[in-house]
Structure 1
């Protein structure tokens, strides 16, 4: 059985953030580029609950990890 694959929209909904495409793009534009020295889960814009979720799912290599890594790459990208 394959693990479920989560979309960026699912991740934003899970984090309690607006999850439509325009809101996701605005979030990334507002919060990037994130300094390369700042791990995604330690960025100042997360609530403690959001940061904990992101950190735990990466450490567990959970089914959320792939989309969290995608968000990480988007936020650390240099324009």
Structure 2
């Protein structure tokens, strides 16, 4: 049985953060723009345990990497699915 592809919501649950769409948008607004010279996994807003989760998920495979890339693009201010148009 194929497993369900990870989502931003699933990522936020793994990080122990509120995972509804509004909470994700608020998180992105609060932390963007992330400086271009900072690796997302080293951003100051992650707790040590959240950073460890991100590292572990990055090693799990391409599906999680896609989700991490989606979050990183949003945090850097690139237009994406989870960004508001305003």
Residue 51 of structure 1: how far off its partner (Å): 0.7
Which stretch shows the higher mean deviation, 27-36 or 46-55?
46-55
RMSD of equivalent CA atoms: 1.9
Measure, in 2, the Cα distance between the counterparts of 1:46 and 1:56: 14
Instruction: Identify the residue that residue 83 of structure 2 maps to in structure 1.
Output: none
Figure out how many residues of one structure are paired with residues of the other and give that number.
79
Aligned ranges 1:1-79 → 2 under 5 Å: 4-61=4-61, 63-77=63-77
CA contact (8 A) 2:14 2:53 kept: no
Query: What's the TM-score once normalised by structure 2's chain length?
Result: 0.79
